[in-house]
Amino acid sequence: MTGEPASPPLLCLDLGTSAAKAALVDCDGRTRAVATRAYPTATTPDGGAEQDPGDWLRATREAIGEVSAAADTAPPSALAITGQMQDLILLPAPSTPQTPAILYSDTRAVIEAEEIHALLAGQGADWDALTGNQQDATSCAAMHRRLRRTDPATVKRSRGLVFGPAGFLADALGLGAWCDPTTASTTGLLDAGTRRWSPAVARAAGIPQEHLPRLTSGSAQTIGRTDARAQDLLGLPAGIPVVLVAGDAGATTAGIVGLAAGEAYAYMGTSGWVASVVADAPVGSARHSVDVSHRLLLEADGSGRRSLRISALLAAGAAASWAREAFLGGASTSQADGLLEQREAECGRGPTGLLALPSIHGERYPVRDAELRAAVLGMDATTRGPDVYAAVLEGVAHAIGHALAGVDGADGGEGADGGAGVLAVTGGGAASAPWRRILADVTGRQVRAVPEADAALLGTALLAAEALELPHRIRPLAEQARSGGVVVEPEARAVQGHARMRAAHRALYGAAADVMAMVPTGE
């Protein structure tokens, strides 16, 4: 909605993987105050990763206290919450202690994931196809099945489940157990066809149907108002609407490009990903086939029929950092950019002629292979360090291009992805002008760098304002950048050159994996 913003600011919370962030965002889109409070993660040698939900509450209260004191405003118009997804949190029965939350990165449930796959297959169902995503040990269903085996008493005492700190906070405020569709899509428990919890998976996981949280209908929904508990818990008065927003991937996408079908952005931090908002295809169709991307729902009621498709790269900036150390003598990013500028002045834009995989830590897209490693193919006696460095950046750009092509059902053959819109790019790698030009030429799209600061909080404010039907002028960061951001245009000759390399680059993932499998390991 638009109009004259006059409401008090929205109090937005992002309960992330390592910290609680709070911000007061007014309906003009200005952030009045922001604060962060960290909380620890406990890890174990066998792959465990846990957090104490009590730490979430402590950090949230402290962050809210700081922004409230800094802004010195009237009570917020609403409390809007997002946060990390794919956690398993058992809600304890009255007078019993809260147990640790099992995080999305916990990998202890390998056996249990295999068992659920087998149980469902025995019933004629494919777990991956049912949920629309590949399922493994990080599935909340597998985590719960494991917990029933290792700590049955705690499971028996629980009164329900939530799947992230946002849902936990809502329950702590007395609003009951809730889950947004985006977070629900990460759990391995949501039927992608019905957009409801799957009874078959719940049975296989040992979860009573009544223990599953209620699903919100869309990317933001008012789930109640604060009462007297909010004062003790968070220092907030009673009567404030509470809006549960899409999990952090959805909120971040909303804050960067919005959630309209067709929007997409690329993130080039230490790792990387491409997030695309896509119109849903019928379950079972070719466009809905399960691949190594994550497909997360944005609505549970089917009203908008949009999903968030996320294709993750294990190394983007990390690959560039490795290449600077290995091939440029440890040059800084600015020094490396200078070498690329010099190379471009001498050789022009276009492919290096080398093929590089950036997979120094394994890979998640366009293949999921933990054993895959980086490779550079095509070097000869004239190849120098800047050439190899440029090739590694091309390799990351090609991976992003494969992901963009996958959105449209392309087969990864010759040709750019064909997208007409400007590709928003964020993360540390987006600061490199030569890398942005490489990305534009490899994908065939215009590229604009967009700041990423507090995108999830901005997206939370935007989605909450829409859900509350507040007049507002909150805009995604990419839209804000249109007034001043520099757009990098692809160069036609360079685009054609990279397009001829695309199929070969895609084939290199399989070829490198085959060769790696032949290399002896161990003694």
Contact indicator for 197, 209 with CB cutoff of 8 Å: yes
More confident residue, 420 or 476: 476
pTM above 0.85, yes or no: yes
Nearest to 266 by CA among 405, 403, 434, 441: 403
pLDDT at 305: 81
- Is residue 353 a part of any domain in this protein? yes
Instruction: Looking at the structure, tell me whether residues 158 and 71 fall in a common domain.
Output: yes
Contact indicator for 278, 197 with CB cutoff of 8 Å: no
Instruction: Looking at the structure, tell me whether residues 222 and 327 fall in a common domain.
Output: no
Q: Which tokens go with 48?
A: 């465990």
Instruction: Find all residues with CB under 8 Å of 207, minimum gap 6, and list them.
Output: 141, 144, 161, 189
Question: Which pLDDT tens digit goes with each residue over 337-370?
Answer: 999 999 999 999 999 999 999 999 999 899 989 8
Instruction: Looking at the structure, tell me whether residues 388 and 514 fall in a common domain.
Output: yes
Q: How confident is the model at residue 3 (pLDDT cuts 50, 70, 90)?
A: low
Domain boundary among 213, 228, 245: 245
In this predicted structure, the answer to whether residue 448 has a pLDDT above a threshold of 60 is yes
Neighbours of 170 (CB within 10 A): 26
Instruction: Looking at the structure, tell me whether residues 231 and 354 fall in a common domain.
Output: no
pLDDT at 415: 42
H or E stretch including 36?
A: strand 31-38
Domain boundary among 204, 229, 245: 245
- Is residue 277 a part of any domain in this protein? no
Instruction: Looking at the structure, tell me whether residues 238 and 371 fall in a common domain.
Output: no
Q: What angle do CA 253, 171, 37 make, to 5 degrees?
A: 60
- Is residue 160 a part of any domain in this protein? yes
- Is residue 222 a part of any domain in this protein? yes
Instruction: Looking at the structure, tell me whether residues 352 and 496 fall in a common domain.
Output: yes
Write the DSSP symbol of residue 99.
Answer: P
- Is residue 468 a part of any domain in this protein? no
Q: DSSP characters for 436-456? A: HHHHHHHHTS-EEE---TTHH
Domain count, the chain: 2
Task: Kindly provide the residue ranges of all beta strands, DSSP E only, lying in 334-438, ordered along the sequence.
Answer: 355-357, 375-377, 423-426
pLDDT at 411: 37
pLDDT at 419: 54
Contact indicator for 245, 180 with CB cutoff of 8 Å: yes
Q: Specify the 3-state DSSP secondary structure of 316.
A: coil
Instruction: Looking at the structure, tell me whether residues 48 and 148 fall in a common domain.
Output: yes
In this predicted structure, the answer to whether residue 284 has a pLDDT above a threshold of 70 is no
Domain membership of residue 404 as a residue range: 317-450+486-518
Instruction: Looking at the structure, tell me whether residues 116 and 238 fall in a common domain.
Output: yes
Task: Kindly provide the residue ranges of all beta strands, DSSP E only, lying in 109-203, ordered along the sequence.
Answer: 158-162, 178-179, 190-191, 196-197
In this predicted structure, the answer to whether residue 414 has a pLDDT above a threshold of 50 is no
In this predicted structure, the answer to whether residue 144 has a pLDDT above a threshold of 50 is yes
The CATH number assigned to the domain holding 360 equals 3.30.420.40
- Is residue 272 a part of any domain in this protein? no
Instruction: Looking at the structure, tell me whether residues 159 and 55 fall in a common domain.
Output: yes
Instruction: Give the rounded percent of residues in the chain with a pLDDT score beyond 70.
Output: 93
Question: Which pLDDT tens digit goes with each residue over 86-110?
Answer: 999 999 999 899 999 999 999 999 9
- Is residue 460 a part of any domain in this protein? no
Q: Specify the 3-state DSSP secondary structure of 244.
A: strand
Mean pLDDT for the stretch of residues 118-127: 98
Instruction: Looking at the structure, tell me whether residues 22 and 117 fall in a common domain.
Output: yes
Domain boundary among 228, 245, 262: 245
Q: How confident is the model at residue 7 (pLDDT cuts 50, 70, 90)?
A: confident
Task: Kindly provide the residue ranges of all beta strands, DSSP E only, lying in 314-398, ordered along the sequence.
Answer: 355-357, 375-377
Contact indicator for 297, 192 with CB cutoff of 8 Å: yes
Instruction: Looking at the structure, tell me whether residues 46 and 158 fall in a common domain.
Output: yes
Instruction: Give the rounded percent of residues in the chain with a pLDDT score beyond 90.
Output: 85
- Is residue 266 a part of any domain in this protein? no
Instruction: Looking at the structure, tell me whether residues 321 and 241 fall in a common domain.
Output: no
